[in-house]
Amino acid sequence: MPSVAEKRRTFRDLHEAGCFVIPNPFDVGSARWLQGLGFPALATTSSGVAFAAGLPDGGISRDDMLAHIAALVDAADVPVNADYLNAFADDPNDVAENVTACIATGAAGISVEDSTGRAGEPLYDADLAVERVRAARKAIDKAGGDVLLVARAECFLTGHADPLEEALRRLKRFADAGADVLYAPGPRQREQIERIVAAVAPKPVNVLVSAPSDFTVADFAAMGVRRISVGGALSRAAWGGFMRAAEELKAGRFDGLAGAAKHADLDRFFAADQHQREGRT
């Protein structure tokens, strides 16, 4: 199994050119399945782990999130990017402390949002948001500097009156503050995405695709996007199948089980995966 340092170097190399999909597993099994399909990197999903724990997105504690990230890092031979919400802190000093704790999980990248999680004030003041990115940057540099810092502008998801323009302003400042990758989840129009890419070039941009899209990976690559994540979409897809089957069962029918994955396929894959991992120890 590659070392943490090797996975971090691989992750950095992935961001140098081209466009890749970084899917979001929600547990160890889904992480290993996605790795088995050949994806070059994975990313955790805050909503996926929260829903699995019976909590709303953002409801999981910092320590539980760190344990989840560490479990996925340990399960995967490929680099893992940590969805770290707002780093579980408002104050930049606390952001730095919590980012340091996340670095210790072995994550190859750490995403930090400018969303407060508070309905009345959904975004941090822009100046404070920049200071929080700068604090995360300093924490990463102090730890060796090999972890990628992903700075997220949540303007589209928090109902800002002018989300694109505000996201552009923030992302440019985040880039200047030391973010390695820039990410504004929410825009779906080509012009919006291309403006974000141009605003922070040559730094790489992540785009979120959490629902069916008319764009392909090749389309996003042509827009200059470096990586594509799906957030909690795979988790919600799994929940969708579960909910439909459960509703059918409650109604006294078993039709919802028709789309279930085959036991033999899952058993075969995880047996082979376990054998391969044990052979490396």
- Find the domain containing 93 and state its range: 4-232
Residue with tokens 């058993």: 267
- Specify whether the CB–CB gap between 231 and 210 falls below 8 A: yes
CA angle 75, 78, 80 (to 5 degrees): 75
- Summarize pLDDT for 90-137 with one digit per residue, the tens: 999 999 999 999 999 999 999 999 999 999 999 999 999 999 999 999
Q: How far apart are alpha carbons 230 and 121 in whole angstroms?
A: 26
Question: In total, how many domains does the chain have?
Answer: 1
pLDDT reported for residue 55: 98
Q: How confident is the model at residue 1 (pLDDT cuts 50, 70, 90)?
A: confident
- Nearest C-alpha neighbor of 24 from the set 266, 260, 233, 246: 233
> Coil, helix or strand for 205?
strand
For residue 93, tell me if it sits in a domain: yes
For residue 161, tell me if it sits in a domain: yes
Average pLDDT over residues 2-14: 98
pLDDT reported for residue 280: 78
- Nearest C-alpha neighbor of 100 from the set 150, 151, 139: 139
* CATH value at residue 185: 3.20.20.60
For residue 265, tell me if it sits in a domain: no
Phi, psi for 187 (deg, rounded to 5)? -65, 140
- Summarize pLDDT for 140-182 with one digit per residue, the tens: 999 999 999 999 999 999 999 999 999 999 999 999 999 999 9
Distance between terminal CA atoms of the chain? 8
What's the burial of 42, exposed, middle or buried (CB within 10 Å: 0-12/13-18/19+)? buried
pLDDT reported for residue 50: 98
Express as a percent the part of the chain with pLDDT over 90.
96
State the chain's mean pLDDT as an integer. Answer: 97
For residue 53, tell me if it sits in a domain: yes
For residue 243, tell me if it sits in a domain: no
pLDDT reported for residue 279: 86
Two structure tokens written together for 213: 């899209």
pTM value?
0.97
- Nearest C-alpha neighbor of 35 from the set 3, 70, 73: 73
